Amino acid sequence: MSPLQQALVDYLAVRRSLGFKLGRAEGLLLQFVRYVEDRGEDHLRTSTMLAWATLPVHGHRNWLAKRLSIVRGFASHLHTIDPATEVPPVDLLPWQRCRATPYLYSEDELAALISAASSLRKGYRVLTFQTLIGLLAATGMRVGEALTLDRRDIDVGQGVLTIRMSKFGKSRELPVHQSSVKALLRYLRHHDRPHVAASVPAVFVSNTGTRLSYANVQWTFQVLVQRAGLRQRSGACRPRIHDLRHRFAVQTMLDAYRHGENAEARLAVLSTYLGQVNPKATYWYLSAAPELMQLAAHRLQRHLGGGL
């Protein structure tokens, strides 16, 4: 192992000890290190980092900026050990913020997605995606959290799901409605569940009995979107599976407003339930809902009117 490769191993170990998963970053950094060594260089240079980051000819500017940001982090770490290492300036490839506009599914659209799963081949695959979509809509959990859910994480008696080592290495417990627990048990005990899955701890499995993969879910969900007849509303607003999380957040706050509950208290609970470390992230989930904004405006108007 070369000194640069060893330095990368040490860097990844340090970052992971702080709770970062680095799945994609590790692959990119391995590519980068090979690129540097193929050029016969022993130290990281800004020109080389920029050349590697901009290799994708038609890559979006944010993707190029992301690539450079990843190697900049490695360079900053290495610079503390090897002063000859250069660290690219932050504004060398500036990041342009362009978050997707959440696609807020209506009740009919959600039902259409679940119904579209009936068109998938093989019975257990149908039940897998119907249960997965239903769980995401009912709990607002991240897709990755649902896929890493194990059977031991379901407390049937208490009606609680345990999410282990999620984003930022945090774990949390999610109280869920008994209907959700019953749906999960029905899925786990279905006669079509692959026999080999008995040795796999995962809740959601493929037809071969292995843990369901993120790539498989993303691809299949887009198939279901097409079969359900859903269309993107703009260039920045298209149906994504992650938007089921947005829907849950919006519906939770709508429920609070409609029942005259303390919206601020509900927002704090929602932020914790979603596993977000900062309420600002929760506000983003709510910002694209006209109905919610209208209810909030009406409440403010009543408050101001009452104070006159």
pLDDT of residue 98: 63
| CA of residue 208 relative to chain centroid, distance | 25
Amino acid identity, residue 153? Answer: D
Q: Is 239 within 8 Å of 224 (Cβ atoms)?
A: no
Which CATH number among 3.40.50.10470, 1.10.287.10, 1.10.760.10, 1.10.443.10 corresponds to the domain 107-227? 1.10.443.10
Closest to 284 in 3D by CA, of 51, 97, 76: 97
Where in the chain are the domains? 3-79, 107-227, 243-306
Q: Which two tokens stand for residue 91?
A: 């504004």
Helix (H) / strand (E) element for 172: namely strand 172-175
Alpha helices in 176-262 (DSSP H): 178-188, 214-227, 243-258
Amino acid identity, residue 257? Answer: Y
CA distance 167 to 180: 23
pLDDT of residue 308: 42
Using CB atoms within 10 Å of the CB of residue 285, give its burial: 0 to 12 exposed, 13 to 18 middle, 19+ buried: buried
CA distance 170 to 211: 21
pLDDT of residue 97: 66
In the chain, % helix, strand, coil (3-state, to 5) comes to 60, 5, 35
pLDDT of residue 303: 66
- Angle at 61 (CA atoms; ends 230, 54), nearest 5 degrees: 130
Amino acid identity, residue 113? Answer: L
CA distance 159 to 267: 22
pLDDT of residue 222: 95
Q: Is 25 within 8 Å of 8 (Cβ atoms)?
A: no
How long is the chain? 308
Q: Is 212 within 8 Å of 136 (Cβ atoms)?
A: no
CA distance 185 to 167: 26
Q: Is 210 within 8 Å of 99 (Cβ atoms)?
A: no
Mean pLDDT by 10 residues, the chain (308 residues): 92 89 88 96 95 90 91 96 93 77 92 96 92 97 94 96 82 94 96 94 95 93 96 87 93 86 85 82 73 71 62
Q: Is 214 within 8 Å of 143 (Cβ atoms)?
A: yes
Amino acid identity, residue 99? Answer: R
pLDDT of residue 306: 56
Q: Which two tokens stand for residue 64?
A: 């190029």
The conformational region for residue 19 under phi > 0 = left, psi -120 to 50 = alpha, else beta, is left
